Structure 1
């Protein structure tokens, strides 16, 4: 089984210059959690996900990590306290960032496969803990030709083993 057998060929993408507010609205009306970001020639430049929007509206600089050590524990535990997360600040962040291009918040280092990649190559990306990837773009000559999701792989493996 290859990536081309699993992928959805009709991929919904966003353009690198689309405004953050427009992409956020598109994302809110979809059943998935991110978009591949492309240029004018449909070359894959990155991905933008719900996580990117969360980080945009809850900057790490507002979180204070405090080590707390209580007996009988030998090591301290770090607890994060958000000092500024409130409705007004969220609205100000949205207003400040709404018209910026989505390329300013996208993840550029995207793990991809080619159409002839083996299902094990796709699984290796989806199963890796460090990146928590939910979808793998399928590219040919840097142009996105499809996308494989965790659900696609699970469905195909289930059908293969039960059929």
Structure 2
């Protein structure tokens, strides 16, 4: 199984210059814990999460609190390798790229759901 098989294709993103309150609203309304941060051209320039909000000391815009390090995988990355990346880098989500374009995102929940599906397939046999 590859990243493309389990990724969420409709990725929710936020602008780097969006106000913090917009981020809190986006996370709460969509019941998610983090999102990619994009520049004006739609390029991912960082990630921002609930943890960044909780640690907020200064700043009024997403760019003030985002993590500019973007760890990503390709569509062809095996799911097991995606799981290792999430675990070793201690992150909860990773953008999925095809060439230089983000085409999806995988969260820990997506990995767990894939594991459950795989287990259920074995049980049915």
**Separation (CA, whole Å) in 2 of partners of 1:147 and 1:104:** 23
Secondary structure class of the residue paired with 1:21: helix
Contact 1:42-1:143 within 8 A present in 2 as well:
no
SS of equivalent to 2:103: strand
Q: 5+ residue gaps in structure 2?
A: none
Runs of 4+ in structure 1 displaced over 3 angstroms? none
Equivalenced residues, count: 121
Q: Deviations over 1:105-125 (max 9, x none)?
A: 100112110111111220111
How far is 1:46 from its partner?
0.7
Q: Hey, what does 1:36 align to over in structure 2?
A: 36
**Preserved contact between residue 52 and residue 106 of structure 1 (Cα < 8 Å):** yes
Contact 1:136 1:149 in 2 (8 A): yes
Judging by fraction of residues, say which structure has more helix.
2
Report how far residue 32 of structure 1 moved: 1.1
1:119 to 79, 82, 96: 79
Normalised by the size of structure 2, how large is the TM-score?
A: 0.86
What's the TM-score, normalizing by structure 1?
0.68
Residue in structure 2 matched with residue 154 of structure 1 by the alignment: 112
Q: Does the 8 Å contact 1:7/1:152 carry over to 2?
A: yes
Q: Which structure has the larger Rg?
A: 1
Q: Using the alignment, how far apart are the partners of 1:43 and 1:14 within structure 2?
A: 11
SS at the partner of 1:29? Answer: helix
Mind listing any 5+ residue stretches in structure 1 that lack a counterpart? 58-92
| Match among 40, 62, 69 for residue 109 of structure 1 | 69
**Retained in 2: the 8 A contact 1:38–1:46?**
yes
